[in-house]
Structure 1
Amino acid sequence: MVIKAPTKITTPLFRTELEYIHFEEVKSFGKTPEIEQDEAEIREKLKGSVVEVGRPEPYNLKEMYELQEIEPPAKMQMLFRKYDFWLIETPFSFMHSRNTHFEWARILAKMESLSEDIEKPIVHDVYPKNIYETKKEKHKVSIGLSLKFAEIIEPKVQFVDEIEFNRLEPVIEVAGIGTSETIWAFSEGALSSHRDVNTLYTIVKVPQGAKGINLKFFLYAKMHIRLGLKLVGKESQDSYKISF
């Protein structure tokens, strides 16, 4: 089986303009005209800095085993007695405004169970993660029988044969595997092109009987303008429900 990453976002979950985050305390005297003028200029220059997240696409990995008539390893057979595993595909795009660029950006994905009496979903593995060098234009990654991503593709050992990426740039770091919250951190190089759509893949472990996942995104970036480095961000207004 081959999964191809989307090259464009056809069904956006949300598209929103990043907002300037001002952390300096404002004293009781109020803002001076100079501070207000600077902030107005900052907001004007940041206009047009947009982030777009596509609607997540879930794949049931346990069903893929059955459809391909593959016998899971003993460890996975034991886990399947208690858990289901889902591959969540989420396309995204950061677009900077004119005369600015991203220094870095972060995406936080927070997951909760739709079933109140069932424990939270757990991140089993993610891709991309901890990438420190430029990759070729057609980059391929497989999912092994242990439901872990692997960049070395060997014949007859992979579960999902390959995932094709149109483009993958450095540097990408990840935190949160083994928890219900994942953070992707992207360097300036990873966000150098505002035209490309990138895709996040998450393998999620959920207890059997779970109705689905409640997914919410938090997005932050630091941008460079004439007045220095400025932090921008946005929280998705509504959580997205993935039903099983």
Structure 2
Amino acid sequence: ALAKGEIDLLVTAPINKENIQSEEFKFPGHTEYLESKLEGKSLMILMADTLRIGLITGHIPVSKVAESITSALIKEKVAILYKTLVQDFAISKPKIAILGLNPHCGDHGVIGTEDDEMIRPTIAEIQNEGKLVYGPYAADGFFGSESYKNFDAILAMYHDQGLAPFKALSFGEGVNFTAGLNKVRTSPDHGTAYDIAGKDLANINSFKEAVFGGIQIFKTRREYKSLTENTLKITHQKEN
């Protein structure tokens, strides 16, 4: 229904990633499944109020994170994030922070070389395109000093690097938004919570935010599309 345009927005409930595995569903989560069914490349974004954290790598083992991060992947995710900030959040000139991979961004090669040899040069190349992209920043100090408040969005290198601070700051209010696709999908930022099932203890706020946040993204994207596709028509109407 979503792919056919019969509905405007998909809001998904939490799933048990182990139990849902079958011959028809062999994906680590909704994000990867939807990317296979819709148009575009996906970017997982956790959002709450003005805090937005995207993930360069998603549902993969930590042991595979470093080998998965390449200059091309960083550029791809920055491009998706930049576009979604413009078209889905109406931010005309987004300011983006990129977190480092290693502790203390490698301490000049003492704790890893990826930050200096690959991530910094990639950021410099992106900056040369005119984008306001900065980093890499050591994640602990970045969030500890509240530097995240100075940016429109943050790109984390891996799942827990982004989700741990996000949930510490916004748990119960956050929304998972699948950016980069031609359709809008959101979900609450929590899991199945079997431990409180049937006890009337569930907090509905995150699910409500997923619904209302998704509606706002859809409306903003539709307005952006209308403005950019009909520039001459709109200008002509204003002149007359």
State whether TM-score is above 0.5. Answer: no
Higher helix share: 2
Higher strand share: 1
TM-score, L = length of structure 2 = 0.25
Q: Which has the larger radius of gyration?
A: 1
